[in-house]
Amino acid sequence: MDILLGLLTTFVFLLLSALYGVALVWPLLAAIALFILIHLRRGAKLLHLLRFCWQGAKQSWPVLSILLLIGALMGSWLAGGTVPALVYYGTQLIAPHYFVLSTFVLTALVSTLMGTSFGAAGTIGLALMIMARSGSMTQLNLVAGAIMAGAYVGDRCSPLSSSAHLIATITDTCIYRNIKQMLLTSLLPLALTLLIYGLLSWFHPLEISQQSDISQQIAATFNLNGMTLFPALLVLVLATARLNIKLTIFLGWAMALMLAVGLQHYSLREAISFSVWGFQLETDSQLEAILLGGGLWSMSKVCIVVLLSTALSGLLTSTQSLAWVARWLRGVQQQRQLFTGTILISLLSAAFGCTQTIAILLTHQLVSTQYQQQGHSTQQVAIDLENTAVVLAPMIPWNIAGLVPAALLMAGPGFIPFAVYLYLVPLCNWIWPARSMSALATVQDS
């Protein structure tokens, strides 16, 4: 009973934190302290409990340096004009009768290049929402849903994605092989998503034909040409060639830094400052609220949340606080039933944890043993986590994975029914699990 009460209390802490904008560090620390007190009362030793937290936190170490590098990369891409160029050239490609479809495709491309759903939603996503509002679009939730769906295409399978690196780390798998497998298992959901958004676009066109005011402001503020896209293309090419991800990010950062100094005319000190503290325009325009962020400092906060999340996950797992879930899963024998259990556990973890990180970590801790007992590889565990926890977390209205991007878009939970890609991925892989396994086997044999 005390464990259940602790879980409910932690859930309330995290939910209130998400609703009132309190930093997640505090409810996570409170949750760790609460469960330590519960197990101390049960007779456990404090040193043992702290060791469990330490062992859980150690799982996040390999990904923390990558997260910090990604933060520096985003700051330099904003200062060098790479992200503004992605927004500018992307918005020029939109046809009014295919606005919703274009919204999904453009956001998916930007999120794949940036590796962050928050970054994609806060840049190209916000620009598209402003275009939708100015174009008398009646179904703003539809546009927000297409943006959210596209943002998590990259969050799921970009080589720069923190969640992809976290899953590769905790499952001890190769991120590039995971990405190839994710692409294979998302072909059908992606095709259906494009079809659905194509049909919806035709019935809900954008009612403007003039160039977006956002695009005009970007062109007036930044020196844009083909060179500004080079850092994104470089990262994409090097990632495709499977170069070391840290070296890939560093080279993308260095090139963007040179563009910030040589093309955008920032001083070297300013360019480095943007990489550390994040980018922000000094001009008084709409762009000031759109093109900002990145930097080591902003990502350091994410690193602390990941560190505490893994510590909490290690504590809950090592003390067998969630053993009842594992006992329920032992009765599962068939692959579809195992995937169903993974879906349910990831939904509960996302609802309980209020963060995508906790959803990933708890789901992995609870299902990995059963996968191993049924003879599935660690890569199967990784791909099923990507097809459940990663895409289902944004569907929980109070989970940070959906709450923050929705807030950036100035949208409410009404986007959820229209984020079709997010539930087509688990649905299609639940209906056709044999096809998914066949695709994985083909990749592993190649």
Give CA–CA dist 43/231, Å, rounded: 55
DSSP string, 371-431: HHHTT--HHHHHHHHHTTHHHHGGGSTTSHHHHHHHHHTT--GGGGGG-HHHHHHHHHHHH
Residue 422: per-residue pLDDT: 95
Percentage, residues of the chain above pLDDT 90? 27
Please, are residues 113 and 235 in contact by the beta-carbon 8 Å criterion? yes
Residue 446: per-residue pLDDT: 47
Give CA–CA dist 247/378, Å, rounded: 26
Overall size of the chain counted in residues: 446
pLDDT single digits (tens) 226-257: 899 999 888 878 876 777 778 888 999 999 99
Please, are residues 110 and 90 in contact by the beta-carbon 8 Å criterion? yes
Q: Which residues of 220-245 are buried (b: 16+ CB within 10 A; e: fewer)?
A: ebbebeebbbbbbebbbebbeeeeeb
Task: Find all residues with CB under 8 Å of 406, minimum gap 6, and list them.
Answer: 144, 148, 412, 413, 415
Residue 188: per-residue pLDDT: 92
DSSP string, 98-165: GHHHHHHHHHHHHHHHH--HHHHIIIIIHHHHHHHHHTT-S-HHHHHHHHHHHHHHHHHH-TT-HHHH
pTM for this prediction: 0.74
Taking 50 as the pLDDT cut, the residues of the chain under it are: 209-211, 434-446
Residue 436: per-residue pLDDT: 46
For the chain, the structural domain boundaries read 2-61+302-396+427-445, 62-297
**DSSP code, position 212:** P
Task: Find all residues with CB under 8 Å of 292, minimum gap 6, and list them.
Answer: 78, 278, 279, 280, 281
pLDDT single digits (tens) 283-292: 777 778 778 7
**DSSP code, position 204:** S
Task: Find all residues with CB under 8 Å of 233, minimum gap 6, and list them.
Answer: none
Give CA–CA dist 381/267, Å, rounded: 47
Residue 445: per-residue pLDDT: 46
**DSSP code, position 291:** S
Name which of 56, 68, 51, 47 is nearest 28 in CA terms. Answer: 56
Please, are residues 231 and 77 in contact by the beta-carbon 8 Å criterion? yes
Residues paired with 293 in a beta bridge: 279
Give CA–CA dist 76/255, Å, rounded: 9
